[in-house]
């Protein structure tokens, strides 16, 4: 096992529904440590940097627009294999397909084509985690 860090975002839909506490509870219950936490409404510039690899794809603009629509909770977590572990805890991207017991499976809603409204984001690799943490928490 490798101790690593990951960025977790409670997206605007999760924040609006008051699910930040439940998401954090599940993260801590899994045994991961909260290293940094911030509640903010992201700037377009930060979102463009965060989602740069998706620029030009059909879902890019709706995703950036949605993510800037309200406050998010940005969290850096740390723990053994926490990138893979959190992504499993989050569940499948589409809440309708996410397994019961996962964040998206238990708390997500069927928004049709709006799969970006799926409660949480988690880094998908150590390289992404490092890049994303640098965007959201430049002092770390």
pLDDT digits 0-9 by tens, 78-94: 999 999 999 999 999 98
Q: Check the annotation: does 30 bind a ligand.
A: no
| Residue in 98, 121, 123, 129 annotated catalytic | 121
Q: What is the reported pLDDT for 110?
A: 74
Are 118 and 107 in contact by the 8 Å Cβ rule? The answer is no
How do residues 34-83 score in pLDDT, each as one tens digit?
A: 999 999 999 999 999 999 999 999 989 999 999 999 999 999 999 999 99
Q: Is 121 a catalytic residue?
A: yes
Decide if pLDDT at 113 tops 80: no
How much of the chain exceeds pLDDT 70, in percent?
96
11 is in an annotated binding site: yes
Q: How far apart are CA 126 and CA 32, in angstroms?
A: 16
Is 104 annotated as ligand-binding? yes
Question: Within 10 Å of residue 39's Cβ, how many Cβ atoms?
Answer: 12
Distance between CA atoms of residues 40 and 106, nearest Å: 25
Strands (E), the chain: 3-10, 33-40, 72-80, 120-122
Confidence of residue 20 (pLDDT cuts 50, 70, 90): very high
Is 93 labeled as ligand-binding? yes
| All domains of the chain in start order, with CATH | 3-136 (3.30.70.141)
pLDDT at 109 over 90: no
Task: Output the pTM of the full model.
Answer: 0.94
The average pLDDT across 4-25 equals 98
């Amino acid at each position: 096992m490798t101790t690593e860090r990951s960025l977790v975002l409670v997206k605007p839909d999760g924040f609006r529904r008051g699910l930040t506490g439940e998401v954090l509870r599940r993260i801590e219950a899994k045994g991961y440590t909260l290293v940094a936490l911030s509640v903010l409404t992201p700037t377009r510039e930060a979102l463009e940097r965060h989602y740069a690899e998706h620029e030009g794809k059909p879902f890019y603009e709706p995703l950036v627009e949605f993510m800037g629509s309200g406050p998010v909770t940005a969290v850096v977590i740390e723990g053994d294999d926490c990138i893979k572990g959190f992504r499993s805890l989050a569940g499948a991207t589409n809440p309708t397909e996410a397994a019961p017991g996962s964040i998206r499976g238990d708390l997500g809603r069927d928004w049709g084509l709006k799969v970006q409204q799926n409660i949480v984001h988690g880094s998908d690799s150590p390289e992404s985690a490092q890049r994303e943490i640098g965007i959201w928490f430049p002092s770390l």
